[in-house]
Chains A and B, each alone.
Chain A
Amino acid sequence: MDDLLAARSQMAMSLAFHIIFAVAGVTTPLLMCVAEWRWLRTRDETYLTLAKRWAKGTAILFAVGAVSGTVLSFELGLLWPQFMRWAGAIIGMPFSLEGFAFFTEAIFLGIYLYGWNRVSPRAHLAAGAIVALSGAASAIFVVIANAWMNTPTGFQLMEGEPVNIDPIAAMMNPAALGQTIHMLLAAYAAVGFAVAGIHAFLLLRDRRNIFHRHALAIALAVGASGAILQPMSGDLLGQMLARYQPVKLAAMEGQFKTEQGAPLRIGGMPDEKSATTPHAIEIPRGLSLLAFRDPNAVVKGLEDFPRDVWPPVAIVHVAFQVMVAAGSAMALVALLGAYLALRRRSLPDSRWFLRAVAAVSPLGFIAIEAGWTVTEVGRQPWIIQGVMRTAQAVTPMTGLKIPFVTFTLIYIFLAAVVVWLLIRQVAESPRVYTEPAQEAEYAFD
């Protein structure tokens, strides 16, 4: 493994690990706030228990997210010092703003977690709401910086160096809006469904437990909203890609030839040697229609670009298929749930529906990892699209496989511990069975 590959692997692994905790930090505060708000409204103690339980989970996930995020902020320099030297002045701004958002998040999470008996109930709920908002703000700022790497704006090039820089224009880059919406919805969908899945699974074994029913209702509402809206934001991103990152789009679609009325490919395995994508189901003119809103539009294929700016086509295409498949399954279950809930005016709780929710619950995280693979691998060989190659950005430090292996082992260990702690927490779930109206409903099962 050469040093560049080791550096890329360490960055990929650190991001893949951190993103799980980052999206949890965006969504679980929202869940716990809704539960606490329901408690204040209904005075149903089950909601309070739920809020406290979710707060505990948030505490663990947030702490690991905070420390792994710290690692990333240093790794930008430890692994890519030339990138930071070049781009720091242009994209440091969203990171600075993220710093303040993270500050607010940490301060009010401290108040939320430790302040149950120290501040008024309203102030407590407000603290939680600030955590949820600043968590979303943190995510937005960081994704803006990533979007700039995909569609860099806000500077001019003069002899390889940036001049006339404009950090605000850099933040307003073409990918920023689409990517931030896509990431936020992904966070709500993935974590909402993951939590809903846990409670659906437990409800299947303990169907009258009101604790799990309340939990499922809240988590499913959040997760389903995200999952239903997500395809629209994906469509927005697709149109952006067609204009600004045609190579990435071609790789995602396995589109080697420049083609009028290009088809949408489902599945298939691109082969760079023969420049074809065999075994795909092709929907005629689908890609042209989606990317340009015109079934006869010309979609640029990879053949229009020099070989040395192609990303690894197969990885990007397969990752994209995985993301879309996972997202579609979640959106489908979400729509079903919404339909059932509206028709019955109560929580959909039939066995097959609970099983479906449990089955799709890990898909959100798979979609997030696959989606980031598309974004990052799809931009290769560039670290800044069209401007700086990843190989130019890497540190001169040698022996990079040592930190890569070290951090990988540390993160595997931490992941195992977190999973174990969460399983133990879930196993200790309370049992609440006192809502007579619902008892009657269950009598028919």
Chain B
Amino acid sequence: MLSIDVLIAGAMMVSLTFYALLGGADFGGGVWDLFASGPRKRAQRELIAEAIGPVWEANHVWLILFVVLLFTAFPPAFAAIAIALHIPLTLMLIGIVFRGSAFTFRSYDRGTDDVQRRWGRVFSMTSLITPVLLGVIVGTISSGRIPSKYEDVIPTFVTPWLAPFPFAVGFFALALFAFLAAVYLTVEAGDEALREDFRLRALASAVSVGVMALAVFLLSENGAPMIRHGLTRSWWTWPLQISTAVFAVGAIYALWARQFLRARFCAAAQATLILWGWGAAHYPYLVAPDLTIYNSAAPAITLRLVWWALLAGSALLFPSLYYLFRVFKGGRAT
């Protein structure tokens, strides 16, 4: 079963997982910048900026890697997605452009408070909108309504994605990213009061993750039958559902008990399981109903070369990433 096309699809899942866990949390940080409130409003924003600053560009590259692997290893799937989802993809790109530029402009410009505030507003608003669009795109791909013959898309370019299920996935992604960010920030906060702020935010967003997960599940009956079927009637259904639930409850309990490192581990594990459950329910489809991992894969020679490039690249990438995170997230240095 583990043929090279499946291995590369697996590598894409890995890259999507890292994007959600790291890049997603950077978007979540922007959401908490938008909702910064209370007496420590300014300190909250400073903590978020400090947490995101050194790493967001590296975290963003996981998305690029995913896209590049998609168009190299499964070109027809990339073409089908790019045609059917032209509008939400374009909107998401605009979000990405403004989020990144505004964050940098805010960090590097010693302008007046007013100017800073305006860039901050752009950064936080786009951090809120972009994950929703990302979720809409993922939700539409899962809905099984993207035609591979693009003549079928022409009548209207909105039908596949303008539906309740994709938007439910969008808000689910937003809740999950905000939850991850709040949990990570409890670990990174320097003082107690600030940590409490993010602990409360983490607990609140944990609840919204649960609510949105339920909404997505209910809507999937009509919105994405393939996903519904996978999540309820596979051999891995129960092991997956139970372990996801264990980590979800574990994260909430650890937050409650102020065991922040444990909470971070549980939250990341929960998000990972959600993603891999989704990926497993998708298998073998990339773009249902027509394109699978097998029938849209590039010729074997390309797949082999990509696989070697992935191995060599990883040997370079993971030590570098480890170094980056050790320097900036490994406790306070001098």
Contacts and interface: CB of A to CB of B under 8 A. Distances in A.
Contacts of B54: 110-111, 113-115
A67 interface: yes
A114 B72 contact: no
Interface stretch (A92-100, A232-240, A337-345): A92-100
Nearest to B297: A89
Contact of B316 (A68, A87, A100, A395): A100
A70 B101 contact: no
A81 interface: yes
A424 B71 contact: no
14 contacts: A60-B105, A73-B68, A77-B83, A81-B83, A85-B78, A93-B305, A102-B61, A103-B317, A106-B57, A106-B60, A109-B57, A110-B53, A165-B301, A397-B157
Interface string B43-87: 000000000011101101101110111011101101111110010
A283 interface: no
Given A102-B61, A396-B153, A92 B82 contact: no
B328 interface: yes
B324 interface: yes
A114 B57 CA distance: 12
A119 B108 CA distance: 21
A410 B79 contact: no
B168 to A, nearest CB: 24
The 6 closest A-B pairs by CB, nearest first: A92-B72, A77-B82, A88-B75, A89-B298, A63-B104, A100-B313
Contact of B86 (A64, A69, A395): A395
A96 B100 CA distance: 22
A111 B321 CA distance: 10
Given A78-B82, A93-B306, A68 B72 contact: no
A288 interface: no
A415 to B, nearest CB: 11
A77 B79 contact: yes
A150 B34 CA distance: 47
Contacts of B93: 70-71, 74
A410 B94 contact: yes
Contacts of B90: 78, 403, 406
Contacts of A280: none
B127 to A, nearest CB: 13
B333 interface: yes
Contacts of B94: 406-407, 410
Contacts of B150: 81, 396
Contacts, number: 207
A167 interface: yes
A372 B320 CA distance: 34
B328 A168 contact: no
A89 B271 CA distance: 32
Given A89-B302, A103-B65, A114-B328, A97 B309 contact: yes
> How extensive is the interface on chain B, given as a class?
35 or more
Nearest to B83: A81
Interface in B289-332: 298-299, 301-302, 305-306, 309-310, 313, 316-317, 320-321, 323-324, 327-328
- The secondary-structure label for the interface of chain B is helix
A96 B78 CA distance: 15
Nearest to A424: B109
Interface of A: 56, 59-60, 62-64, 66-71, 73-74, 76-78, 81-82, 84-90, 92-93, 95-100, 102-104, 106-111, 113-115, 117-119, 165-168, 395-398, 403, 406-407, 410, 414, 417, 421, 424
B98 to A, nearest CB: 8
A88 B71 contact: yes
Nearest to A112: B54
B146 to A, nearest CB: 12
A106 B56 CA distance: 9
A62 B57 contact: yes
B114 to A, nearest CB: 15
Contacts of A85: 75-76, 78-79
Given A67-B100, A103-B61, A117-B334, A396 B154 contact: yes
A113 B101 CA distance: 16
A66 B72 contact: no
Contact of A95 (B71, B79, B109): B71
A339 to B, nearest CB: 38
B89 interface: yes
B209 interface: no
A405 to B, nearest CB: 12
Contacts of A103: 58, 61, 65, 313, 317, 320
Given A85-B76, A100-B313, A113-B54, A70 B63 contact: yes
Contacts of B151: 396
A84 B80 CA distance: 10
Given A56-B108, A60-B108, A107-B324, A99 B65 contact: yes
Contacts of A165: 299, 301-302
A68 B97 contact: yes
A92 B61 contact: no
Contacts of A97: 309, 313
Chain A CB count within 10 A is highest, among B65, B111, B310, B320, for: B320
Contacts of B281: none
B328 A118 contact: yes
B69 A96 contact: yes
B328 A89 contact: no
A81 B86 CA distance: 11
Contacts of A102: 61, 64
B101 A414 contact: yes
B86 A95 contact: no
B96 interface: yes
Given A60-B108, A100-B313, A74 B101 contact: no
Chain B CB count within 10 A is highest, among A63, A84, A115, A421, for: A63
Contacts of B107: 59
Given A107-B323, A167-B301, 4 more contacts: A77-B79, A88-B72, A96-B72, A109-B57
Nearest to B56: A110
Contacts of A100: 65, 309, 313, 316-317
Contact of B89 (A78, A89, A114, A396): A78
Nearest to A403: B90
